[in-house]
Amino acid sequence: MSSVLSCDQLHSGYGAVEVLSGVSLKIQASDIYALVGKNGAGKTTLLQTILGVLKATAGSIMVFEKEVAGMPTHRIVTSGLACAPQEKAFFNDLTVDENLRLGSLSSSKSEFVSGRDRVIEMFPFIANRLRQRAGTLSGGEQAMVKVARALLPKPKLVLLDEVTEGLQPLTIDRVRDVLMRDHTERNTTILVVEQNVDFVAGFATRYGLMERGQIRAEGSFAEADAVDRISEHLSI
Amino acid sequence: MLELALNVITTASVFFTVSVGLLIVLSIMGVVNLAHGAFLTIGGYAAVVVSQNGWNPWFSLPLAAVVGFILGLIMELIVARRLYGRPLDTILATWGLAIIVTQILSDQFGRSAQFVDEIVSGEPFQIADMFVSPYKIFTIGVALVLGVGLTLVVRYTNVGIIARAVIMNPALARTLGINTNCVNSITFALGSALAAFAGAVIVPMSSVDPHMGTPWVVTAFMVVLAAGISLPALLLSAVGLAAAQVLATYFLAPVVGSLLVIAFPILLLRLFPDGISTFLRSR
Amino acid sequence: MPTVVTSDTPSPAQSRVSRLQIWAAFASFLVLAPSLVLGGYSSGLLVQAFIFGTVALITDIVWGYSGVLTFASAAMFGIGAYALGILFVHLSPSLAAVAAALAIAVIAAGLLSAVIGWLAFYSRTKVSDFYVAVVTLGVSVVFEQAVLYGGATTGGSNGLSGFTTFSLNNQSWYVIGGIGLLAFGGTALRIVGSDFGLILRAIRDNEARCRYIGIRTPLIKTVVFSVCNALLAAVGVFYSLYTTVVAPSLVGMTLATNVLIWVILGGRATIIGPALAAILVTVATPQLTTTIPLYWQGLLGLTFVLVVLFLPRGILPAIWDGIKSALSVVGLNTTIMAKANANADTLFETRSPALSSVAGQTVLDVLDVSKRFGSFQALTNVSLTVQRGELLSIVGPNGAGKTSLVKCISDGDERSSGSILIGGKSIEHNAPELITRLGVGRKFQAASIFETLTVGECIKIATWKGEVPSIWNRHSNVVLPRGAAEVAETLGLKHVWDISAKDISHGQRQALELAMVLALEPSVLILDEPTAGLTTHERSIVGDVLMRLLATGQLAIILIEHDFEFVKRISTRIVVLVNGQIVANGTVEEVSNSEIVRDAYLGRSHKENMK
């Protein structure tokens, strides 16, 4: 099987601060990979580096078997990858519809409209909110629109950064169902960055435990002790 | 009285026209383009070239815009691009570019004032008891077309959505696949094109010389600063400052008019760093 | 334990003086010698060049050192020039008129600058960096307009010319101009090299950090701006006294542009660079405008753009760097390193804190504090009390309001409602520098230090606690309170004492900021993720230092930290913040066993737990 995303000995950080000190990971096509770790472990930094927002100081990043380290963000993103950032994920003064549109600029107008219908089927409440300004959505609604925007252009790889933070269990279940459905229908590869064990358990296929800028351990959810290992890693 | 009102509207139209390019560059790129005045001058000389060749004066408008666009694009690629994240240095560099442009124009056309064929000529006509020159109507028309056109583009096209997205959150825009560098190049070029276009429009108000843009750039700067980041606010700002200038010049002295145009935005910004757009946003 | 060391090696200040004298003699020779050989025209041009050199170096103090991008230098200079011109033309050329012109010009420029300073530096709303540039540009334009339309008083666009002045020969003017330039240059170099000069550079580097170590930056910037502009006006008086011509074209936007060019080309924050650039450009201009009349201004503009693009620090510093790197290739630079290490024991003295306060005393009261950003409620009715000797950790998920809370404590303008008392005194809506003086010391999440200062200088500035130091001398002794000294000792700051703060490692940056904050001897020490990015070893050292500080009973520590192991080890109390509200407040055992904290750290939904 071909790897969709792989990092090899990746180093990166903010200015003089090295946050990632040698991250190596490999995500195969149609994996749902859960990247788990406490605050400050470097999860978001890893995503930002993959996206080219932060420059990798050493190591390689392959997306769809193509080296992307050093490429500008917009080119990495338009290669069939979409992401839902954790913070500042919306153009607050633009409408929900405009926010969705900005997530699929490379699609034609008609592709966008059919894609929009598809995500409205996933999250029906969006239909009534298209004209609403994104900044006025509630936290839960924002999380769902964020996921919808990422899935709309039918990406082969989706990166989700703690989309469930601060959400109600019902909303979390809904988001998970949508992701599962998209995964089964289109064989989407998904990388979820999470601190919530309940969300990834029974959904992700593999996991990586991140700590101090490195992946300390990896495993498969097929193993019986997976949830315990993750909980232990996150425990205080 | 009516005449004074017409003067305010005409002046406001001119203010709007000369500052809209600066607004676009400042709001999307966060760059104060002090070469704006040089582009106004370039527009003026586009009109000179048209006149000298005996072409139809209307041709000066598209010519100015195209020349402005191309030169703006070149400047962005060579100079402005290297200074993202150093906003104060951008002020300096664009100022330096203005000096170079002024010099090149002096070399090519000489330092003396040039006169051009007017786009809109014709005798003033009478409405009620005041005389209105066709040129005044022309400036109002230009401002209207620019204002309405840009508003439509910003509101209803992908271009507009992308531009607004880059203004609000450039980092997110990149994450969604927008090439912000490309947006910046086009923005700078468009701002320069609008400046040169405005230069061709205002030619009849001031003779064309290499320093023609300098007084205008300060005015445009002040109109934009008072406005903040928004087209409607720019309109309000242009009207407000035009009223201040026209009335102060009429009742007091021209110096007071110029003073007000500068002092008003300075005081406004002190209280509301986002300018007039502060009030439009808090609906 | 660090030892108290007194230094009896010859102080660097002394050797500086003698070196300074040699330089002064050398510079005087360079400046004054040409008058012996030059003819009238050339030395006349040189007088103008000296005047412009003085203008450039004064502008450099404002812009290069204090970081205030000013376009107003030409206008201030013009105020002086016109004051003299008007008095000479409309009254009479006399010494009394010169004195009057000086007084009027200095007062007018000083007052105008004070108003600009009040507008630009005292605003509590966050005005942009552009603002002062805009205001000063506006001043230049208005000034030019005013003299253009000033009628007979200012002579309109022709200006005032040909008025009588004192009959001195060119050589005398030359000597006066040269001495003036040297005096201004020498004084400027002395001031920027003094302890006060250090503060100016600190303000330029990082104004926020300055305010959080108690420096009243708005006041300092306003005073420097006003004094420099008053001096520019005085130089303007001398200018028109010499040239007997004042015109809008000489002191308007053209001069404003030229001043910028000189300072940029010569190199910001070098004093000598801008002065040299002004002199060279002024001398070269008439020459080159005759040989290449059409290209000279354009060439100057082009050079200006190239320097901004590729040598943002200016030509002189670039040359200087070139020489230095050439020397280091030959191996001459090693002496500097050796010197730094030899001094390692005499870098600072340590002082025990005066025991004036008692552990257990309440030192911080937060009463019903709320904070809103638009419709978003970052903090809702937060109340807590902290005693001396306590280490209170604030924990909670991202976006819970932890940083908002410490912002509210350290800046009076941050909270939307509620009140905060430091040692029983309300912080009102005061600026950070005043709250710092009440005893709050804040370490930021991302180390906030002065990049171009050395480690030693950063710490030294903090020890002044916002008091204005000598504007003439540089004192070499640094006296650190015990806590700061301990950090400097144990976290390796001594080894990098003379290295620029921008060149030290991440861990050292964190240690440096901690040492700076401790040098303030705060009664409330706020630490926002002090161990982020530190190694395990460094973490434990920081933990030990904090524990020892706490044991003195002098201060209370408020800690925001993600590393819960660290929190558990050193806290005396923990507050859990979720969605801007305190959901738990208790001892380490109480809080760490609660479900809420587990959730806060696991990032689960908190809403259903709270119901």
Instruction: Tell whether the model's pLDDT for residue B92 goes beyond 70.
Output: yes
The boundaries of the domain holding residue C590 are 362-610
**pLDDT score of C604:** 45
Q: How far apart are CA A161 and CA C458, in angstroms?
A: 38
Closest residue in chain C to residue A170, using alpha carbons only: C605
Q: How do residues B192-243 score in pLDDT, each as one tens digit? A: 999 999 999 998 887 888 888 888 888 898 899 888 888 889 999 999 999 9
In-domain check, residue A108: no
Q: How confident is the model at residue A146 (pLDDT cuts 50, 70, 90)?
A: very high
Q: How far apart are CA A167 and CA A45, in angstroms?
A: 22
* CATH number of the structural domain spanning residue A192: 3.40.50.300
Q: How far apart are CA B249 and CA B255, in angstroms?
A: 7
**pLDDT score of B61:** 93
Best of C505, C604, C607 to disrupt the A interface (most A CBs within 10 Å) is C604
What 3-state class would DSSP assign to B1?
coil
In-domain check, residue C500: yes
Window 486-525 of C, Cβ < 8 Å to A: 505-506, 509
Window 37-96 of A, Cβ < 8 Å to C: 38-40, 86-87
Q: How many CB pairs under 8 A join A and B?
A: 60
In-domain check, residue A128: no
User: C563 — contact with chain A (CB < 8 Å)?
Assistant: yes
Average pLDDT over residues C517-521: 91
In-domain check, residue C290: no
Q: How do residues A36-75 score in pLDDT, each as one tens digit? A: 887 778 888 899 999 998 888 899 999 998 898 888 898 8
Cβ contact, residue pair A19, C562, below 8 Å: no
Q: How do residues C408-452 score in pLDDT, each as one tens digit? A: 999 988 898 999 999 888 988 898 999 999 999 999 888 889 999
Question: Of A110-124, C30-44, C534-548, C582-596, which has the strongest mean pLDDT?
Answer: A110-124
Cβ contact, residue pair C602, A165, below 8 Å: no
In-domain check, residue C492: yes
**Contacting residues of C for B253, CB less than 8 Å apart:** 149
Closest residue in chain C to residue A168, using alpha carbons only: C605
Average pLDDT over residues C1-25: 52
Average pLDDT over residues A119-136: 89
Q: How do residues C535-547 score in pLDDT, each as one tens digit? A: 778 888 888 888 8
**pLDDT score of B156:** 82
Of C134, C294, C309, the CB nearest to B225: C134
**pLDDT score of C354:** 61
**pLDDT score of A192:** 92
Cβ contact, residue pair C309, B79, below 8 Å: yes
DSSP conformational letter for C63? I
Cβ contact, residue pair B221, C137, below 8 Å: yes
In-domain check, residue C390: yes
What 3-state class would DSSP assign to C581?
strand
The owner of tokens 């930056």 is C217
Percent of chain C with pLDDT over 70: 85
User: A53 — contact with chain B (CB < 8 Å)?
Assistant: yes
Average pLDDT over residues B40-48: 93
Q: How far apart are CA B266 and CA B243, in angstroms?
A: 17
In-domain check, residue C598: yes
**pLDDT score of C106:** 97
Q: How do residues B139-196 score in pLDDT, each as one tens digit? A: 999 999 999 999 998 888 888 889 888 888 888 999 998 998 899 899 999 999 999 9
Q: How confident is the model at residue B57 (pLDDT cuts 50, 70, 90)?
A: confident
Of the residues C261, C285, C308, the one at which a domain ends: C261
Q: What is the 3-state secondary structure (H, E, C) of C180-243?
A: HHHHHHHHHHHHHCCHHHHHHHHHHHCHHHHHCCCCCHHHHHHHHHHHHHHHHHHHHHHHHHHH
Q: How far apart are CA C215 and CA C199, in angstroms?
A: 8
Q: Note whether ipTM > 0.85 here.
A: yes
> Which chains would you list as touching A if contact means 3+ CB atom pairs under 8 Å?
B, C
Average pLDDT over residues B127-133: 77
Q: How do residues C244-297 score in pLDDT, each as one tens digit? A: 889 888 888 888 888 988 999 999 889 999 999 999 998 888 877 777 766 777
Beta-strand relationship, A206-211 and A214-220: antiparallel
Q: How many CB atoms lie within 10 A of CB A222?
A: 8
Do B57 and B138 meet the contact criterion of CB atoms below 8 Å apart? no
Q: Which residues pair with C527 in a beta bridge?
A: C443, C559
pTM of the complete model: 0.84
How many separate domains does chain C show? 2
Percent of chain C with pLDDT over 90: 33
In-domain check, residue C453: yes
User: C131 — contact with chain A (CB < 8 Å)?
Assistant: no
Average pLDDT over residues B35-59: 91
* CATH number of the structural domain spanning residue C392: 3.40.50.300
Say yes or no: C463 and C576 in one domain. Answer: yes
Instruction: Tell whether the model's pLDDT for residue A233 goes beyond 50.
Output: yes
Do B38 and B162 meet the contact criterion of CB atoms below 8 Å apart? no
Judged by phi (left if over 0) then psi (alpha if -120 to 50, else beta), residue B114 lies in: beta
How many separate domains does chain A show? 1
Cβ contact, residue pair B161, A85, below 8 Å: no
Q: How far apart are CA B7 and CA C224, in angstroms?
A: 44
What does R_g of chain B's alpha carbons equal in angstroms? 19
Cβ contact, residue pair B175, A83, below 8 Å: yes
Say yes or no: C238 and C366 in one domain. Answer: no
**pLDDT score of C16:** 52
More confident residue, A153 or C334: A153
Average pLDDT over chain A, rounded to an integer: 87
The helix (run of H) or strand (run of E) holding residue C272 is: helix C272-291
Q: How confident is the model at residue C370 (pLDDT cuts 50, 70, 90)?
A: very high
Q: How many CB atoms lie within 10 A of CB C565?
A: 12
In-domain check, residue A164: yes
**pLDDT score of B282:** 45
DSSP conformational letter for C64? I
In-domain check, residue C501: yes
Cβ contact, residue pair C604, A198, below 8 Å: yes
Percent of chain B with pLDDT over 90: 38
Of the residues C261, C283, C310, the one at which a domain ends: C261
**pLDDT score of A120:** 93
To 5 degrees, how large is the angle CA A135–CA A141–CA A145?
85
Percent of chain B with pLDDT over 70: 99
User: B277 — contact with chain C (CB < 8 Å)?
Assistant: no
Of the candidates C161, C61, C73, the residue with the CA atom closest to the CA atom of residue C113: C73
Å between A231 CA and nearest CA of chain B: 31
Cβ-in-10-Å burial (0-12, 13-18, 19+) of B56 comes to: exposed
Do B226 and B242 meet the contact criterion of CB atoms below 8 Å apart? no
Cβ contact, residue pair C119, B104, below 8 Å: no
Of the residues C261, C290, C307, the one at which a domain ends: C261
In-domain check, residue C318: no
The boundaries of the domain holding residue A197 are 3-87+156-235
Instruction: Tell whether the model's pLDDT for residue C234 goes beyond 90.
Output: yes
Average pLDDT over chain C, rounded to an integer: 83
Instruction: Tell whether the model's pLDDT for residue C11 goes beyond 80.
Output: no
Instruction: Tell whether the model's pLDDT for residue C597 goes beyond 60.
Output: yes
Window 79-118 of B, Cβ < 8 Å to C: 79, 82-83, 86-89, 91-93, 95-100, 102-104, 106-107
Q: How confident is the model at residue C210 (pLDDT cuts 50, 70, 90)?
A: very high
**pLDDT score of B132:** 81
Average pLDDT over residues C339-350: 62
**pLDDT score of C338:** 42
Q: Where are the domains of chain B?
A: 10-209
